[in-house]
Amino acid sequence: MSKSTVKSDRRPGKTARRTVKKGAKTAQIVAKKASKSARREVGSGNRATRAINVRSPSVAPNESAKILRTQSPPVQPVTAEALPLRTHKYQVGETVYFTSPTFGRAAATGSYTVVKLLPSEGDDYQYRIKSSGEAFERVAKESQLDRA
């Protein structure tokens, strides 16, 4: 008996397992390559219309459903003329009645004069207002003001 025969007789299970393992791995690699090439063939074409290979549970495993994708229609840009422009309700120098909010810091309700127009915060414009009885100015939202 030769030495190679003796070695294979001692470990027949190990070489058999190796062979099975290599065969399974090779089968996985071949399957991956086949699926990649199938996707590449389906995906090739122009960008406007492209068919995509998709597996669906209602379709048999060997068959595949095709979804047709098209480009979206062009969208017209919105011009400044189409948007309604909202302006401040009160003007600088106008006398307004301020109602303080019920929560937070209590402010003196009463007559105030609009000192400056401020940009909007969300959907409400803001104003800098001043009372003749106070030395400082405060900021108020348009919803807190009424015509005096």
| pLDDT tens digits, one per residue of 108-129 | 888 999 999 999 888 889 999 9
Q: What is the mean pLDDT of residues 29-56?
A: 59
Higher pLDDT, 36 or 140: 140
Q: Look over the chain and give the mean of its residue pLDDT values, rounded to a whole number.
A: 74
Which range in 20-34, 69-83, 84-98 is most confidently predicted, on average pLDDT?
84-98
Half-sphere exposure of 81 (CA within 13 A, CB side): 0
Residue pointed to by tokens 């090439």: 37
Write down the domain spans for the chain.
16-70, 95-147
pLDDT over 70 percentage in the chain: 60
With a cut of 70, say whether residue 38 has pLDDT above it: no
Please name every residue paired with 141 in a beta bridge, in sequence order, or none if there are none: 126
Show the tokens assigned to 3. Answer: 């030495």
pTM above 0.75, yes or no: no
